[in-house]
Structure 1
């Protein structure tokens, strides 16, 4: 699930490295035709990156996750913690979201693109009302590049970092791909198809465990759209074949038949991850997952944050480096947000684009992941790529 946006470019883009096509993965032998997760997964060689936990860390306080929870994360590829983040911190995040939405509304209004800023509407509906006046208003939120301090506090919170230590060890960096998700109701670009996060990254990072925390800022359920995972689909570490792009979006997608033949999972392995506000869904970068449609009448806001070992490849196409948060050999390490949080990813990308294209209101997104996978459904996003135009970044869910 990843984010940010680029623009129209009249010269070759430095980031657009040509990917080698993924190597073929032999189909699983179905034998007697009985499909079960255990039987199918047994034919895949487990990847220790995604299936073996590091030694239990020694911290001067209780660890937030039990041994059984850590085992579940590595065995199934995900872990739901219903009550994990302080809801007061999520309240602060929603206030920051209100500020972001207000900024978008003012920009749209001041340039004559909308007639009503919907100032009296709550954060649960305001962006949706703006979207009805300017299609793509939610994309403007999605591609925002400066990290609010309220998000920083959640991302670098002690309890979350202690949990991540249990997954990857004592050296921890925040991955440059983080997202604020505005799942507006009945919106195609907010409904994300089946995919693996590795499909959006450079293949160099496929031997790097990247821990994702998906954090809903409101209750997440089947009505307003939540995450579904295919349990066990991470075990081999293989990235299944993806195609580009789904509908009128910039998303890659993976067919269930392909995932069954290459990852050993199918519909019987789907887990629907409903969670109350304050809950966290931990995932890895190889687990297949999707984000379902919002059928309610309110926006489902969420954050997805990522961590990894700072010494390992991060796969973000040299656009931005991770931010170191902890070092095992420096117990008193003080992280510095200055460079990381001050870098506007969109601004960086725009500097590679022509002056003519530097349009804040552009809602077309394209980027390096489209070079990796076959384009089976051309649309305005892929057309921009083929024209040597827009580039950008997105990660799922």
Structure 2
């Protein structure tokens, strides 16, 4: 789908845009099924090690991970995009519907940024005793997790829920129009967050949206996650795109062309090569990922 002129103006004015129904349930199915396989494999491994007493095989995608985490906190790590490097997720990075939207804002020379995540926000009952930011991601700008040499780069965030993101399930809150202030000082305590002294006094909006919808944000737009008070997991995918040739903000991690009108042969379609790029990047230790 393409953005309307009105939608583009809204994004340019407010610093964010919620676009409903960009991705069909069928389009999301390969990613969800791949995540289900990863969860199952991990569950069986921990079960064999005696760290799980139940596999909860009959639980749906929206609940199984939480049931397993309740038994074993060790279940939490290793399910991010750069951890398991799945083929379905790689294909999703270059999803044509997503790129059609990105092209409306960035032009036809597009690269996938290496800052990319899949997140499982568990029901709050499952995370009692964890640090507050485990549930309530604090106010931050996405530029705070990029290197300063990307200040001139236009990097846009695409956030998409794999279940309905509501106030109950823990959707995002966004501060409209604040992006015009540019970078605001952050601190590391309690998770990378805007310095409370510098936090703008702006009424946030609730970025509720349905499964398959898209929340687009400017890299300077302050936003935060709120608690998941439901009984399901709020799964989401968080991607970024930038103009090919611009600094990605993570030059030591792999970005790659996903669309090019001038050099279509440059587009990376080889899943194995993408995996190799990430595996090589992981071998380099000690890189600072955040500004603070």
The question of a shared fold, defined as TM-score above 0.5 by the shorter chain, is answered with yes
TM-superposed CA distance for 1:199, in Å, is 0.8
1:277 shift after superposition: 1.1
* 3-state SS of 1:234 partner: helix
Give per-residue Cα distances to partners, 1:188-228, cap 9 Å, x unaligned.
Answer: 42431110111111111121111211111111100010011
Partners of 1:191 and 1:292 within 8 A in 2: yes
The residue number in structure 1 matching 2:270 is 337
Describe the superposition over 1:236-262 as per-residue Cα deviations: whole angstroms up to 9, x where unpaired: 3x221111131xxxx2111454132xx
Gaps spanning 5+ residues in structure 2: where? none
When the two structures are aligned, how many residues end up with a matched partner?
285
1:78 matched to 2:16? The reply is yes
Deviations 1:356-379 (A, max 9, x none): xxxxxxxxxx97246x42xxxxxx
Contact 1:218 1:276 in 2 (8 A): yes
Residue 326 in structure 1 maps to residue 259 in structure 2? yes
The residue correspondences of 1:155-166 to structure 2 (distance < 5 A) are 155-166=93-104
2:194 aligned with 1:254: yes
The secondary structure found in structure 2 opposite 1:311 is coil
**SS of residue paired to 1:140:** coil
Matches within 5 A, 1:64-143: 64-142=2-80
Aligned residue number for residue 31 of structure 1? none
Distance 1:332 1:340, change over 3 A: closer
Counterpart check, 1:230 vs 2:175 = yes
State the shift of 1:329 in Å. Answer: 1.3
- Give the superposed CA RMSD: 2.3
Corresponding residue number in structure 1 for 2:226? 292
Query: Is 2:213 aligned against 1:279?
Result: yes
Q: CA deviation at 1:144?
A: 5.2
Residue 189 of structure 2 is aligned to residue 245 of structure 1: yes
The CA deviation string for residues 123-179 of structure 1, in whole angstroms up to 9 with x for no partner, is 111111111122242233237524323323332122221211111111101111211
> Deviations for 1:237-296, whole angstroms, at most 9, x for unmatched residues?
x221111131xxxx2111454132xxxxx242x111110112111112111111111111
Q: 1:324 to 1:334 in 2, by over 3 A?
A: closer
**Residue aligning to 1:206:** 151
Question: Structure 1: where are the runs of 5+ without partners?
Answer: 1-62, 261-265, 354-365, 374-397
Alpha-carbon offset, residue 303 of structure 1? 0.7
Q: Normalised by the size of structure 2, how large is the TM-score?
A: 0.89
Rg larger in structure? 1
Does the 8 Å contact 2:159/2:236 carry over to 1? yes
Q: Which residue of structure 2 aligns with residue 368 of structure 1?
A: 288
Stretch deviating more after TM superposition (123-132 or 138-147): 138-147
